[in-house]
Structure 1
């Protein structure tokens, strides 16, 4: 499925070629041969620029089944682990699939587990939108419905293990056997107690780790001065990184 963003008048809409956009700004039919960089006009003369989807756009336009991982947290996972094309990744706690899609778009081969079958079905649709479903060239994401622990012994020689799930401690117990030498574990935890349990489990299996609280403040600039924004979420959670 190929879809494009239509951007104009401070708004953006996701549409496929051949689809129709109907808003108070007018109606337009997206041509079958639409391309990024084109400009389309509604019948009222409102112009929309056509853009290809990029990584940060997925956060805003994926169908959601819960709170997706924020782009800043995805960036930290990718930056701290150095994930690259050709890497083999096991992910658990798919959810909306923002992290799995980002890893696939970086060229990795990802298998991701989601225990809720309905959520897994939505995640598969999101992977197709991101261009990283199992039929994609280059990086790909296979979404499996089920518990990763049921299949954990079938995996080996992984470059990266990423977890956003309540049973992360039980999964990281297997990390030394799952990862290649130098491979990474990255665990996202919304609560500090969960992060502590992951850290303690990693220590028990002989893996040193680093833990970070992820906080970000947007800045406001106006004629009165400059200050951090009073709106938005500053804290999102805790990220634990370890290397085999």
Structure 2
């Protein structure tokens, strides 16, 4: 696993993710990235063609992390962050790591993330991706099923997690334990591509006593602007899935 922070090396539509000291062959020549390269540095290939070094930013993760499946879209991640207000210093418990895009975004916010991935190969890729994103010190990728670890997680935090995020087929089983996992005022966010699973999670959240339950279908439409006028794009409706949000508000007597 790499331990160096990588950067983007860009020229027009050409974009390479490299670590300081790497060599990259391009159609414009061989590029040797200096060990001291920083954002804004201009480096040249052996043919004298310039490239610019840029810092890896959050949206770049979606394009450059190694994929093991369909990662959560940036617009869905934005809703999770916006609706829960998760911030630096918070603790998040996540299940269904996959590529790890959500975990990486949260880590770059300064959130301490514990994430579970069932597939050992996927988990290993996710760990490498956390190194690429520069958040391996904040994101703990564990191999296994979160439902098998629920009874032990209470020993890791006395106050509970500030955020519980789920992207798994057995999400309802975890939602059922949300009141044991979340800190007072903490948030639950469940992503699912299927409405049936989302409905089951909503019903479980109600039975568990969670509050502020809200479900959103995430759809975005691109706009087309040309000499004829302006209109929504006909390229597609932009549906990605369903997001359930809820909050743990315990009552004290």
Tell me if both proteins adopt one fold, taking TM over 0.5 as the criterion.
yes
**Aligned with 1:217 (options 208, 211, 221):** 221
Residue 89 of structure 2 is aligned to residue 86 of structure 1: yes
Residue 158 of structure 2 is aligned to residue 154 of structure 1: no
- Matched residue pairs, number? 239
Unaligned segments of structure 2, at least 5 residues: 155-159, 249-253
Q: Please state how far the C-alpha of 1:10 moved relative to its aligned partner.
A: 1.7
Q: Please state how far the C-alpha of 1:85 moved relative to its aligned partner.
A: 1.2
Residue 42 of structure 2 is aligned to residue 39 of structure 1: yes
Q: Hey, which bits of structure 1, 4+ residues long, moved more than 6 A?
A: none
Q: TM-score, normalised by structure 1?
A: 0.94
3-state SS of paired residue (2:5): coil
**Aligned with 2:109 (options 106, 109, 112):** 106
3-state SS of paired residue (2:21): coil
Match of 1:231?
235
| d(CA) in 1 for partners of 2:152, 2:237 | 39
Match of 1:73?
76
| d(CA) in 2 for partners of 1:30, 1:233 | 41
Q: Please state how far the C-alpha of 1:97 moved relative to its aligned partner.
A: 0.2
| d(CA) in 2 for partners of 1:48, 1:220 | 31
Match of 1:22?
25
RMSD between superposed Cα atoms in Å: 1.3
| d(CA) in 2 for partners of 1:187, 1:25 | 45
| d(CA) in 1 for partners of 2:163, 2:73 | 19
- What is the CA deviation profile of residues 33-88 of structure 1, one whole-angstrom value per residue up to 9, with x for unaligned ones? 11111111223343211111111111110000000111111110011001111111
Residue 15 of structure 2 is aligned to residue 7 of structure 1: no
Of the structure 1 ranges 188-197 and 36-45, higher mean CA displacement relative to structure 2 is found in: 36-45
Match of 2:61?
58
Residue 199 of structure 2 is aligned to residue 196 of structure 1: yes
| d(CA) in 1 for partners of 2:67, 2:231 | 32
Unaligned segments of structure 1, at least 5 residues: none
- What is the CA deviation profile of residues 6-42 of structure 1, one whole-angstrom value per residue up to 9, with x for unaligned ones? 1112221101111112121222111111111111122
CA spacing shift, 1:92–1:189, aligned 2, 3 Å:
same
Residue 246 of structure 2 is aligned to residue 242 of structure 1: yes
Q: Please state how far the C-alpha of 1:105 moved relative to its aligned partner.
A: 1.0
Match of 1:145?
143
